Structure 1
Amino acid sequence: MARFSALPSDVLAIIFQELSLGDLLSVRQVCKTIHEAISTDKLLWMSIFKCYVIDGGKCVILYRRPLSLLGAAAVESWTRNAYVLEKAYLSTSSLSVYCFKTGIRAVTWVKIIRGRWCLAASSNISESRLTLWDISPPHHQICAEIFLPGPIMDGEIEDLNSEIIIAVSVGSKTYSQRNLMYLLDRERYVQILTVGTSAGVPQILKLKVIPGADHIMCLRGSYLGVAVLDRDDSNPIVLDWKRDTQWVLKPSVPITSLREMDDRTPCLAMTMWNSFVVVAFGAQLRVYTNPESHGAGCELLFTHSVMLYIVEVRFVNNESVAVSFPDTVQRTGATRLQVFFKKSSGEYYTQALDAKGQLQGRAVECDIPKPQVDKPTPTKCCR
């Protein structure tokens, strides 16, 4: 093999490009020279990543850093992680359950970030502790935490290529001299945070406070959708928290009579999809222009009537993923937005919104299988 390893690097690169992934990994074990040649060939691993992961339809995570800033080892790890994720998804073996202790506070909000961290809010009436747990084995430990005045009620996370943005609704507190105790005030605010690193250690950092905002509906970059602002829940609002601008999502006909006010239903869900802001109510689905795509703001385009007695709405975006080299993984526009409705009687229905903002066909009832009784799984407690 000494003669083979002595070939010019460009010739070796051509030979490696013709090998399958399995053969390439086998050849890499022959000697140190071949191992180094394969492991450091960034163009080779970019080609493998595109062929076996992207074209193979495997899971690609959107938060990858730009390829121009990374080496061959990082691209190889992307490929390896894609195969590990696929194997885990297809596995039928039981999963281990880890229990994280939060003390006397109740858990009020939880999100998983990048499959590695668990961001959990544990709150009482006077304060909240926002904890970032490292859940990648074998760590399972706290790596960052921050305290906020008042309980965290809800929140959203936007995982971008370059940063992680967190928005949480926080209830403020007031002190009653008569009862000598803290009382939960109705006035709330939204705290914008980010997850950064210092000397390789994750940190939760405060970015901005939005007074009077409450009930977070969606988060997309610097755009935040809330159902309440300054205790007014008559219309949902889209806020640009970086530029301090806002747009009220009003109906096509203003609500004027007392009867219309009684019939008015609160905002159930909101999403920013393609060039639209889609807002769901108890009997309506409104489609507005997205201020991210239209600098003029949020203009009402369509109002679609949906079935009555809706108590919950979920949006499922079939947004696909594209990789353009040497750039990073990017989002591409989805052809439709799937909307799931839950009625007060418990049934689920679904209907699709097309790329033009039009609701397609009639709502179809979902056939939801009954949950199976799983076998007991081992539980490990972490403090």
Structure 2
Amino acid sequence: MSRYEFIAPCHFGLEAVLKREIQDLGYEIVEVEDGRVTFAGDEDAFARGNIFLRTTERLLLKIARFKAETFEELFEKTKAIPWENYIPKDGKFWVAKATSIKSKLFSPSDIQSIMKKAIVERLKGVYKINWFEESGNSYPIRITFMKDEITIGIDTSGESLHRRGYRKLASKAPITETLAAALIMLTPWNKDRILVDPFCGSGTIPIEAAMIGANIAPGMNRSFSSEEWTSIIPKKIWYSAIEEANDLILNDIEMDIQGYDMDGDIIKAARENAKLAGVDHLIHFQQRAVSNLSHNKKYGFIITNPPYGERLEEKEALPELYKEIGRTFNALDSWSYYIITSYEEAQKYIGREANKNRKIYNGMLKTYYLQYLGPKPPKKPQKFNK
């Protein structure tokens, strides 16, 4: 089998979570950098990476990495890449996205144009044609310049992997599915423990938790651009990965996952989203304010994304809201609670400093993942067979 390298981008601050996911799939880590993990795998990594990874935004097939300080150098080195190994004669190819940080070549549109010309020149020579109809399958190219070094990848995913296919309805400031999964995976929560999200919005955190608990692969109900790359990946590899994902689902599982929100229409949307994800039977959604949150069970988890106050009128209400969060959560004295927020004074008004505070970039927005750790539940007495 051939060996390929893949680039898996993620939110800044979540590289360790993604690295662990990739290792759990059995692939070799090549490099961990800010906002991305590079790993090696064979043909089945195209399918298994896209279908199983919960915390990456997309999966790029790594094509090349080199230094370029002039457009002439960029053109010649791009042209030297054996693009014919990836793009067939009728392939549709373009530089979908170019980013440049601290590099001499900084204009994305110019970089995109030069690279497209270089790829065309290469393929004209190989395929002995002067015009490409580009009527076949898509091969979107993404590149990143960092300190004059370019990394080139072809996007195997198509739509971003946070689009699982279940979220048809969203609240005003939804958290992405990939970020929600990562927040859960940063905690010790497991399917046997209670989980409550008192600001559940369209239900993303409870739904992702239910999918994790039931071992439902996040990419099972969507398609990927590389499914059609039959010159590189045989169709049977995709069928095999889907079969593997189906076999791993825990169909008879029971969990205690609850989602609350003050907005009744949003709760209806959350129920619909959970139904589309196939986990509506595992989650209890209810219209309820955070001040009314209570629970008679111990050692539960709260994982939540309360309002950040991005608009001025919302910002004025934040001190009282976070005081209410502090009063309510502190009453659940045996629970652990995890809060993601961009509100810098959150800990002050909650009235307690977090045990851990992890910085995570939600796009360009700097957020804080405040982790308040409760006591561990007592170990269950072991049963010995006579």
Please report the TM-score for the alignment, with normalisation by the length of structure 2: 0.23
Q: Which has the higher helix share?
A: 2
Please report the TM-score for the alignment, with normalisation by the length of structure 1: 0.23
